[in-house]
Amino acid sequence: MKKLIVIIVTVLALTGNLLAEKQTLQIEGSTTVGPIADAFVESFKSNYPELEITVKKTGSGDGAAALVDNRCDIATMSRFMKDDEFKKAVDKGVFPVAHVIAMDGVCVAVHPSNPVTELTTAQVRDIYTGKINNWKQLGGLDMPIVIISRDTSSGTYETFHQLVMGKEQMAAGVEYVNSNPQAHSRIKTTPGAVGYIGIGFIDAEVKALKIDGVEPTKETIISGQYPIARPLFLFTNGYPKLGSLVYKFCTFHLTETGQEIVEAKGFIACTKY
């Protein structure tokens, strides 16, 4: 037993001593932007293998808080900073600068067997407030609507809430899921479902609806015609020093590889190579 303890202690001590100082980059924030940051890191690593980059995906709010407290170098956010977050930052001598790294369209999706192809923003709002509860009211089949929403603390929820719901609250019967993939799988398996997911998650198994007559595509989102779209941000403290690691990371989306990654992750790149 003693030997075992000795071994355990040595192992722990050894691992503790491995804290060699390396160039590090702390990235924290949104779960939506997280996958892009992860993929950027993967690609970065092959160019700069000695780098230590950690990506934490806990939520846009945490990213902002971490940047304000100087706990991270880059905050990933799927929304712009709120007024009070900005105020707090400036009070602490942190000057957040936004870098738009990609666009994300939030699509209202239904089961592919649903004949409804088009809704207006007002109709979507009425569905989520519970005023419309059967597809028949929208010219569809006689089938109750199963409403799927993302967690109240996710960035996607905030975008949807802001762009579609306005000041109104969601109905009680709304089913909350924790992630885009889960929302996707709920919609794909439920004929009466309606949900909202990032455009990257639209595939043959779920059908994205036209909103106010505009189909969610790369073009309509970039041109701003599609109403439920948002830019995704990286926030840094001041504009990063040219040539610094943070600068390289924040401008990586402007490179061809960066664009490829953004597109591979299902978002819409700001560049067009």
Partner 1 sequence: MRFFIRHITDKIFTILTVLSVIMLVAILAVILVPMLRKGLSAIVFNGTIEFRKMQLDLFSRGDIDELKNEDIRSRLYRNKIYETIESFKQNIDSETLSDKAGVIYRNFGKELQRKNIKGAEYQKLRSLSRELRDKLQAVFKSSDKKFIQENISDVLKFKNDIAFKDTSIDGLFVLAEDFASDIEHIDLSRRQQYAASLKELENIITKLLGPNPSLPVPALKMDRYGATRRDIAEKLLNRLLWLEQWQQDSPGKPMKRVITPRAELFAGTEIEPLFNYIRENLDEILVFKPAFYWQYFIDDSTPGHYFGGVWPEILGTVFLTLAAMIFVFPIGIISAAYLAQCQSDNLIIKIIRMAINTLAGVPSIVFGLFGLAFFVLYLMPLFGGPSKPCILTAALTLAVLTLPVMIRASEEAIRSVPQSYVEASLGLGAGKLTTFISVILPAAMPGILTGIILSVSRVAGETAPILFTGAIAFGPTPKSIFDPTRTLSYGSYDIAIGDKLAALVPHNQYGMVATLIMLVFCLNIAAIIMRAKISRKLKGH
Partner 2 sequence: MKNNNAQINKEPKTSSRSLALTALEDFNGFAIYHSGRFVLFAVSFNTVLIVLLIFYFVIQQGLPFFKNFDTIEFFTSKQWYPEADNPKFGALSIIFGSLYVTISALLLAVPAAILAAVFLSEIVSHKIRNYVKPVIELLAAIPSVAYGFFAVLVLAPFLQTHFGLSTGTNALNASLILSIMALPTIISVAEDSITAIGRDLREASYGLGATRFETIFKVVIPAAHSGIIAAIVLGMMRAIGETMVVWMASGNANQIPSPWWDLTQSVRTMTATIAGDMGETSKGSPHYQSLFAIGIVLLAMTFLLNIISEYFLASAGKNSRKK
Binding residues for partner 1 (CB under 8 A) = 5, 8-9, 11-12, 15-19, 35, 38-39, 42-43, 52-57, 71, 112-115, 141, 143, 178-182, 184-185, 191, 200-201, 204, 207, 257, 260-261, 264, 266
Which of partner 2, partner 1, none interacts with 10 (beta carbon under 5 to 8 A by kind)? none
Q: Give yes or no for residue 87 binding partner 2 (CB under 8 A).
A: no
Q: CB-wise, 188 or 218, nearer to partner 2?
A: 188
Which one of 28, 73, 104, 158 is in contact with partner 2 (CB under 8 A)?
158
With CB under 8 A, what is the number of residues at the site for partner 2?
32
Binding to partner 2 in span 110-149, by CB under 8 A = 144, 146
What's the 3-state SS for the chain?
A: CHHHHHHHHHHHHHHHHCCCCCCEEEEEECCCCHHHHHHHHHHHHHHCCCCEEEEEECCHHHHHHHHHCCCCCEEEECCCCCHHHHHHHHHCCCCEEEEEEEEEEEEEEECCCCCCCEECHHHHHHHHHCCCCEHHHHCCCCCECEEEEECCCCHHHHHHHHHHHCCCCCCCCCEEECCHHHHHHHHHHCCCEEEEEEHHHCCCCCEECEECCECCCHHHHHCCCCCCEEEEEEEEECCCCCCCHHHHHHCHHHCHHHHHHHHHCCCEECCCC
Shortest approach of partner 1 to residue 5 CB, angstroms?
8
Give the footprint of partner 2 on this chain (CB under 8 A): 31, 58-62, 64-65, 144, 146, 151-154, 157-158, 167, 169-170, 172-178, 186, 189-193
